[in-house]
């Protein structure tokens, strides 16, 4: 699919997360130290939107059972999550944020 527009940079707040739909895929976008990161937005444990969780120390905490993933790598950090979270490449062109879902 290549690069797909996901959001405007202005939609993001430093240290925050938003959920967006990109061509039918639930994607979470984060802004950490001025850099945008993207992961899948559904927890790998059960069904919960990570964008409804909390960002802390570079990790996203799931709102359902408080499992955590490293936002930059998708690596599961603590129980009950064990499965890695998909991460996506991100690029910014002006105010537009693009993600590559492949
Ligand atoms: Fe995310 Fe259980 S659904 S930790």
**pLDDT 10s digits, 67-94:** 999 999 999 999 999 999 999 999 999 9
In sequence order, what are the residues at sequence separation of 6 or more whose Cβ sits closer than 8 angstroms to the Cβ of residue 86? 39, 40, 74
Q: How far is the CA of 95 from the centre of ligand 1 (A)?
A: 32
Estimate to the nearest angstrom the gap between the alpha carbon of 61 and the chain centroid. 11
Of ligand 1's listed atoms, the one at least distance from the Cα of 62 is 1
pLDDT cut 90: percent of the chain above it: 98
Estimate to the nearest angstrom the gap between the alpha carbon of 18 and the chain centroid. 8
Q: What pLDDT is stored for residue 42 in this prediction?
A: 98
Estimate to the nearest angstrom the gap between the alpha carbon of 56 and the chain centroid. 13
pLDDT cut 70: percent of the chain above it: 100
Mutate to test the pocket of ligand 1, among 28, 52, 53, 67 (most ligand atoms within 8 A of CB): 67
Q: What pLDDT is stored for residue 102 in this prediction?
A: 85
Q: Is the CB of 65 under 6 A from ligand 1?
A: yes
Q: Is the CB of 43 under 6 A from ligand 1?
A: yes
The pTM (predicted TM-score) of the whole model is 0.97
DSSP string across 25-75 = EEEEEEEETTEEEEEESB-SSSS-BGGGSEEETTEEE-TTT--EEETTT--
CB 40: neighbour CB atoms within 10 A? 18
Q: What pLDDT is stored for residue 1 in this prediction?
A: 77
- CA dist 31 and 17 (Å) reads 7
Q: Is the CB of 64 under 6 A from ligand 1?
A: yes
């Amino acid at each position: 699919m290549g690069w797909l527009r996901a959001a405007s940079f202005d939609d993001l707040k430093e240290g925050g997360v938003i959920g967006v739909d990109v061509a039918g895929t639930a994607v979470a976008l984060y802004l950490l130290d001025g850099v945008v990161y993207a992961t899948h937005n559904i927890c790998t444990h059960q069904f919960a939107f990570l964008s409804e969780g909390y960002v802390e120390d570079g990790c996203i905490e799931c709102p359902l059972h408080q499992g955590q993933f490293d936002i930059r790598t998708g690596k599961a950090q603590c129980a009950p999550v064990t499965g890695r979270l998909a991460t996506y490449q991100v690029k910014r062109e002006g105010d537009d944020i693009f993600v590559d879902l492949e």
